[in-house]
Structure 1
Amino acid sequence: MTNAFVSVGEGAASVRGAAGKYGIPEATLHDRVRGYVNPEVVKSGKRPLLNQEEELHLVEHLKVMTASGYGYSRAEVVDMASTYTAVLERIYNVDEKGLKQNHSPPSIVTSLEAAAKTPAVVSGKGSTVTVTGCGNALGNQIPPYSVFPGKRMRPELLKDCTSGADGTVTESGWSNTEVFLYYLEHHFAKFVQGRDSNNKILILYDGHKSHISLPLIDWAKEHKIILFTLRAHTSHVLQPLDLGCFGPFERIYNNECHKFMRSNACTGIDRFSVCDLACKAYGKALSTHNLRSSFKKSGIHPFDPLAVDQFIPAKVLKRVALRTRLTFDVPDLQEMTSSPSTSTFFKSREEAVGQVNKVTKRRRTISRVV
């Protein structure tokens, strides 16, 4: 197969000639040349649960154990691989993403003279719809759950959405404690994999106040679900969906909106069209490859403490540091606790913080932009 594919790629033979020369079905070689099938795939069927890196990790473990005098039988290796994949499908990340009706138009190809004169085709000022996304370390996604602005849920809001997608309404269009609890109880629990009485499920999410409530904790304990809240100002380096999924999600959504506006410039994008466009982008952005890469980049799976070699503070912390620029010479802890001036030490620091000059934000004017 490889020789036939290379000969066709180099132009040494046609598809029919290479198929006859190497004894390969012409349709099989044609699909690989056209790009319908990966040339490295040698058998049909479902994709393997473990990728090459995970298989290599398992093989190295088998070699180490064999060298130590503890070899595994074939049945034990199958059970080990099954357990390995079962662990991956029980690690989930949940996060929200806000989508606007007045999307950001993509860049266009034009001359420098016409760039400033070309108008962008977008909808008018619209509301924000929150999409709650979820996926696990194995690469499986949970269907999207949308939160629309309004007071009464209408079936038309979910028109043309993908199978399994659902939603609700709030006055602001943002999620809250009740919505998040309902999402986990009725939507997440319906599609989650690897859930049984013996194995627990791990859910990772940021520490927004809507994610922390006593009823939610009681429900999680009852259903053997571990809720793990990421530390403040670390979601930009530790939350998988923020690292590798929501960026493509927003870009694909803007492209889908741009295509929609080309065909529906008179009507524009209303709240009844957002779910359809969001579902198309959601399925592509939260793909198996993106989810696995996101968990790998965050160091969650495969577990890698060095994935984040040095902690980079969030942009908010950087701005605060630039504004304050406070440097203190902190004395030795034992000396500070034994000194009678401990209270004055903290009082002086509080006064120094209060004396920081506030930086006024300059307004953007036409002269400054030009």
Structure 2
Amino acid sequence: MAGTDWMKSFMRRHTTLSLRKPENTSIARIAGFNKESVEEFYSNLEQVLRKYKFSPRRIFNLDETGVTTVLPSPKVVAEKGKRQVGQVTSAERGSLVTVVCIVNAIGNFISPCLIFPRQKYLPHFIEGAPYGTLGLASKSGWMTASLFVEVLHHIKKTSTVQLKIPSC
């Protein structure tokens, strides 16, 4: 059976390889990202662009990501032989806030949306955020269908583009 010594020797012989941590990808994402789905998406996009002749300033891309409110401990330089290196942290474990970023095809951005894991949104949640930031709340802190409609209203309000937003 190959052991640690074998692995170290193998890595020395193959200098183009490195030990890396893989990124997690859900099965649903893998299943949805295939040649047929991508071709269907671009076919639909082409039809819509030909039909409505949107200018690049009216084409928006929206993406959301989770940001933790408590950062992981950084590595620090300390004297050899020290058994403990301390750091003061908050007692909370932290929570995930969803950040929604929106940009159009010519590179103009709209102020972000922040979705907090709360039952009720309070205005002080976005103190210090960029001007025009939209603050929202959902029980999980994740995007929901009703919050997405609010994000569309945010785009309509903060951009010069007039959008028709369907009601839910």
Counterparts of 1:157 and 1:129 in 2: how far apart (Å)?
11
Whether the aligned pair in 2 keeps the contact of 1:135 and 1:141 (CA below 8 Å) is yes
Match of 1:191 among 158, 163, 168: 158
- How much does 1:192 deviate? 2.6
2:61 paired residue number: 93
| Residue identity matched to 1:191 | T
Alignment of 1:97-176 (within 5 A): 97-108=65-76, 110-111=77-78, 113=80, 117-123=84-90, 124-176=92-144
Change (3 A) 1:135 1:106: farther
SS, match of residue 106 in structure 2:
coil
Counterpart AA for 1:140: N
Determine if contact 1:103/1:122 at 8 Å carries over to the other structure: no
Asked whether the equivalents of residues 61 and 103 of structure 2 are also in contact (C-alpha less than 8 Å), the reply is yes
Q: Post-superposition shift, 1:116? A: 7.2
What amino acid sits opposite 2:120 in the alignment? R
SS in structure 2 opposite 1:219? coil
Alpha carbon RMSD of aligned pairs, Å?
Answer: 3.0
Q: Which amino acid is 2:157 matched to?
A: K
TM-superposition CA deviations, 1:137-163 (whole Å, max 9, x none)? 322111111111222221221223221
* Structure ranking higher in strand proportion: 2
Distance 2:63 2:81 in 1: 40
Of 207, 211, 219, 2:166 maps to 219
Give the deviation of 1:102 after TM superposition.
Answer: 1.5
Identity of aligned residues (%): 29
Preserved contact between residue 123 and residue 135 of structure 2 (Cα < 8 Å): no
1:28-53 deviations in whole A, cap 9, x for unaligned?
xxxxxxxxxxxxxxxxxxxxxxxxxx
Distance across 1 between alignment mates of 2:82 and 2:103: 40
